[in-house]
Amino acid sequence: MAVGPCDLIVVKFPGNKFRGEIAPAIGRLVDAGTIRLLDALFAIKDENGDVAILEIKDVDGDGVADNVAIAEIDGAIGPDDVDDAAQLLEPNSSALLLLFENTWAAEVTQALRNADGELLYMERIPAAVVEAALEAVAAES
């Protein structure tokens, strides 16, 4: 079975502000076959600096997180990942940790393997960096 590369992302939310847009956006990517969600959780730091973990579970297997409950950290995102993310948080903020497979790349990955291709280098460039570069180029024009 061909598997695409996987990413672990950590996104900070100062003040714990959410508008209900994240889960539906992820669900659309899962439904389209673009990604496969492997694990997801929130690390929430309160005003006193105490951290609670909310593990997001896909109870019915449809790829959309539909049950949020406090749980032990026993999934693919490990305790060290959570500890690292929590250390980056200020009080009264949270972090979303997502581990997902880029299923869109699985076929290309297998084709590269079939041709004895060997990955020499891979880097993810954050969207903010690309946007800033494009704005700089546009400003020079």
User: What's the pTM?
Assistant: 0.77
Domain ranges of the chain: 6-116
**Beta sheet of 51-57, edge-to-edge order:** 6-14, 93-101, 36-45, 51-57, 67-70
Tens-level pLDDT at each residue, the chain (141 residues): 678 888 999 999 988 777 778 888 888 888 888 998 888 888 999 999 999 888 777 644 565 555 544 444 457 888 888 889 999 999 999 999 998 889 989 889 899 999 999 989 888 888 889 999 999 999 998
Q: How many other C-beta atoms can be found within 10 angstroms of the C-beta atom of residue 64?
A: 17
